[in-house]
A and B are shown apart, each in its own frame.
Chain A
Amino acid sequence: MAEKFVFYSLFLWQIGFIVGILLKLFYKPSGKKFVPTAVQSIPAVEVETPKAKPSHIDVEMKKNISLQKAKVSSVKSDEVIKGKVSTQKEKLKQLRRG
C-alpha cells in the first residue's frame, strides 16, 4: 500500500515536472491584458474648433425675367428726326487707338 502511494506520487511529480518544462519551452504570452468591463466613461468636452470666418461672395443673380408683351400695340414714335446724326465717334476712335 505504501509502495503504491510512493509510486503514484512519483509518477504525478514526473508528469508535473515534464509539463512544466514543456510550458517553459513552448508557451509565449499573448500580451493581452484583462481589464474590468465597467469602465467609467468620461463625458465629452465641448471645444471651440478654429473656424475661418467666411468672407462674402458675390453670386450672379439667376435671372428669370418673363417678358410681358402687349396683345395689341399700335405705338408710333412721338417725334422722328431724319438726317445725319452727329456724334463724336471718329474722335472717340482715335482716342481709343491712342
Chain B
Amino acid sequence: MAKGLDCGTSFYIAATEDTIKKQRNAFLTVDGEVGQVKRMLKRQGIPFVEKAGKIHIVGQHAFNYAQIFSTAELKRPMKSGLLNPTEKDALPVLNAIIGELLGDAKEGETCVYCVPSKPIDVQREVSYHEDVLRTIIEQYGYSVKKIEEAVAIGYEGLVDTQLTGVAISMGAGMCNIAVMYQGMTALSFSVSRGGDWVDENVSMDTGVSKAKVTNIKESSDTLDLSSANYQNIYEEDTDEANVLIAIRSYYGALINYLLTNLKVQFEGVENVPNFPNAVPIVIGGGTSLVKGFLDVFNEQFDQNEFPIPISEIIHIEDAHTAVARGCLSEAQLIEEDDED
C-alpha cells in the first residue's frame, strides 16, 4: 500500500488510502532515574523514547508538558525545515516517529516523502537532511522517492489548471514555493521563515512564552485574523488580545516577505515561462490554518507588483494534510506504473 509522508518541522503526517496519522515533531527530556521514570510514564500511558540512558517524552504529550511547566524545554528534532543541528538526540526520536507512522513495509511498498527546496535566505544545503530521512525510511523496507514540498501542494491544488500556477506550502519552519507550468517546476525555493518565526517574534514582543503563543495560535477560539474580527479584538486590553494583535501583525510581515522574495526570484531567473493566462496561487500547510489567513494574504498581495497575472488565491482543502496527500498520490502512481 502506497504511503505519503510529510516531514514537517512541527508535524510529521503520514497518509495512506484509508488513514491519516499525525505526530507532533517535538520531545522533552525527563530527568531522574531511568527505571523509575519509565515505570511512571508507562503507568500514565505516555509515549517515550529511551536512548543512551536518557528518556524523552515524544509528541503532543511533550508539547502539553511544556505548556504546563514553563521551565521544561521543548526540544525540536527539526529547525527551519531541516534537521536541527543543535539537537543531538534528534535522530533516534525521528526514527521512532517515522517507525510509528509508517510501520514496516510489506513487499514492494512505496513511500514518497517531501523535502524542502533550497533556502534562499540561509546557507544550508538540503541534501544531508534528505539522505537522513531516506535512510530512516528505507530501513523500514520501503522503496523511497522524494518530491519537493511545494510540488506536493501543486499535485493537490493545481490539477484543475493542468498543474500550472504557484504552489505555496506554509510550514512551521519554512515556506516553500514552486512556480509550475504544465507539471514542470519552473522555479522553486524556500525561505526559512514560517510559523515558528511568527511565534518567536510574538513571544519577544508580548512577553508570553513561545510555547503558549503556539498554543494560542493553534487552539484559540477567539483567534481570527479577518479584518472584521480584528477590530473587535483591538478594543480589548488583555494579554491574549495583545498576542492576537501581534500574531496578525507578524502574519502580514511573513506573507509580505514571501511575496517580495517570490517577485525577486521570478525576475532573477532565466527561462521562466510566460504565462499567457492568469494562473492561481494555491496555499497549504499548517501555518495557513489560522482563521482569516486568506484575508491577510489578500491584503498583502498586490497584482500590480506581482510578476505574473493571478486568477485567484485558493486555500487548499484540509491544508494541514495537503502535502502528505500530494506525496500519497505520487506514491500510488509509482506503484501503478510498477504494476503495469
Contact = CB atoms under 8 A, between A and B. Distances in A.
Interface residues of B, number: 52
A17 B127 CA distance: 98
Interface in A35-87: 61, 63, 65, 67-87
21 contacts: A65-B131, A73-B48, A73-B96, A74-B41, A75-B47, A75-B58, A75-B59, A77-B59, A78-B23, A79-B21, A79-B23, A87-B15, A87-B156, A87-B329, A88-B156, A88-B329, A89-B329, A91-B159, A91-B160, A92-B329, A93-B333
B49 A65 contact: no
Interface in B1-37: 15-24
A63 B49 contact: no
Given A76-B100, A93-B336, A68 B23 contact: no
A78 B57 CA distance: 12
Interface stretch (B132-140, B189-197, B217-225, B263-271): B132-140
A72 B93 CA distance: 11
Interface of B: 15-24, 38, 41-42, 47-52, 58-60, 91-93, 95-97, 99-101, 127, 131-132, 135-136, 139, 155-156, 159-160, 162-163, 183, 321, 325-326, 328-329, 332-333, 336
A84 B19 CA distance: 7
A86 B156 CA distance: 10
Nearest to A93: B333
Contacts of A87: 15, 156, 325-326, 328-329, 332
B18 A95 contact: no
Given A85-B17, A85-B325, A70 B93 contact: yes
Interface of A: 61, 63, 65, 67-89, 91-93, 95-96
A75 B19 CA distance: 18
B48 A74 contact: yes
Given A65-B131, A65-B132, A96-B183, A73 B329 contact: no
B325 A86 contact: yes
A67 B90 CA distance: 11
Given A67-B135, A76-B100, A84 B58 contact: no
Contacts of B156: 87-88
A68 B92 contact: yes
Contact of A77 (B91, B100, B132): B100
Contacts of A95: 159, 162-163, 183
B16 A85 contact: yes
A66 to B, nearest CB: 9
Nearest to B317: A86
Contacts of A76: 47, 59, 100
Contact of B38 (A72, A78, A91): A72
Contacts of A71: 50-52
B265 to A, nearest CB: 22
B47 A89 contact: no
Contacts of B135: 63, 65, 67
Contacts of A92: 155, 159, 163, 329, 333
A73 B95 CA distance: 10
A77 to B, nearest CB: 4
B262 to A, nearest CB: 24
Nearest to A77: B21
Given A70-B92, A87-B15, 6 more contacts: A69-B95, A70-B93, A76-B59, A81-B22, A89-B332, A93-B336
